Amino acid sequence: MQNAVPERPRRADEPLPEAREVAFHIWKITVPIPFPLRTVNMHALVGEDGWVLVDTGMGTPDARAALKAGMERAHLRLDNLRAIVLTHHHPDHVGLSGELHEKSGAKVYMHPIDETAIQIFWSHAMPQRFGRVSKFFLQHGLPQTQLWLSHVEPRTMDDIIRVPPHEAITMVEDGDEIDLLGERYQVIWTPGHADGQICLFRARDGVFLAADHVLPRITPNIGLYSQNERPNPLQDYLASLAKVANLPARIVLPGHGEPFADLKGRTSEIALHHEEREALLLAMLKEQPQHAYQLAGQLFQGRLKSDEALRMGVAEVIAHLEHMRYNGLLQQEHTADDFILYTVA
Ligand SMILES: [Zn+2]
Ligand SMILES: [Zn+2]
């Protein structure tokens, strides 16, 4: 079964595509993705009479092979997949949702903000949408870049990312309780990494399905990617961190990386990281007014190697700059050649 998973070089601390029971009747199935994080976790919640899948990876050939192997290892069959919970709209979390829903008839849950996003991003309105996104980045100094998905044939794209139709999705909001195979889960809306991201908390035994809100090893990407999003994602994110910090969680199951226990400790570390980064950016802006792309170059020092990583890095810097601007520390200056510079207020 292991041979079904193609070999590729990895960092020593990175989990291989694998399927492992990480808590009683909860399986973590880790599959490869063509993005800087390299793997994503799906979580299977197994009950008496079927199972529930939290997030769905993408439909690339190596991810399909890893999912198949993982399901075999965990003795999971599609005919009794009862529900799919999609934590947020990113392609590595929703890619196979349309196909798995069609094959199983599973009920699909999502927050309305990100449900709107998947219909916009992963339906055919995409090129128009991304045209607006690149204008936004150009103003912040980023040269034209290629999106990963622009390299993919439209037909292949359908295999890799396909989402259920709007009518098939059950919307869930902050504070809702949903029943999944007889267990109660609290829905916690955690905007920041994505505007409509949700986490699930099972109070009975402290299982916290953290999506990409709180990750171990790396800090989640908090970026502003267009003028159509909530305007201050870092402020949202810090409020969402505070919202979950004191949950009585016994195990945190993140969207990337390994499970961990110390939720409160990790939220403090991440909040501190953002404070430190803002102090660095402020110091750079005291030297001279700059746009986000120039600042990202100094901050990341050539570490942003792919177009994908570059866009994410610049979007993170914009999120920090906007957070500081809303807090009265910075101002924007529009130049004659249509760039947005930031200056110390
Ligand atoms: Zn994500
Ligand atoms: Zn993710």
Where along the chain do its domains lie?
Answer: 2-279
Distance 43 CA to ligand 2 centre (A): 13
For residue 340, the surrounding DSSP H or E stretch is: strand 340-344
DSSP string, 18-85: EEEEEETTEEEEEEE-SSTT-EEEEEEEEETTEEEEE------HHHHHHHHHHHHHTT--GGGEEEEE
User: Which of the ligands is closest to the CA of residue 89?
Assistant: 1
Contact 216, 266 (CB under 8 A): yes
Distance 283 CA to ligand 2 centre (A): 31
User: What confidence category does residue 228 fall into, taking pLDDT thresholds of 50, 70 and 90?
Assistant: confident
Angstrom CA distances, 114 to 149, 224, 230, 288, stand at 19, 15, 12, 38
Distance 21 CA to ligand 1 centre (A): 23
Q: Write down the pLDDT at residue 4.
A: 33
For the cut 50, the answer to whether the pLDDT of residue 152 exceeds it is yes
Range of lowest pLDDT (30-39, 87-96, 159-168, 234-243): 30-39
Q: pLDDT digits over 126-147, tens only?
A: 555 555 567 899 999 998 877 7
Enter the CATH code of domain 2-279.
3.60.15.10
- Quick one: which of 146, 147, 85 has its CA closest to 122? 147
pTM of the model: 0.93
User: Which of the ligands is closest to the CA of residue 31?
Assistant: 2
Distance CA 31, CA 39 (A): 5
For the cut 80, the answer to whether the pLDDT of residue 151 exceeds it is no
Q: Write down the pLDDT at residue 135.
A: 84
User: What confidence category does residue 7 fall into, taking pLDDT thresholds of 50, 70 and 90?
Assistant: very low
Angstrom CA distances, 178 to 167, 169, 182, 187, 200, stand at 19, 14, 9, 7, 9
User: Which of the ligands is closest to the CA of residue 221?
Assistant: 1
The residues, any chain, with a CB within 8 Å of residue 204's CB and separated by 6 or more, are 183, 184
Contact 67, 52 (CB under 8 A): no
Distance 88 CA to ligand 2 centre (A): 8
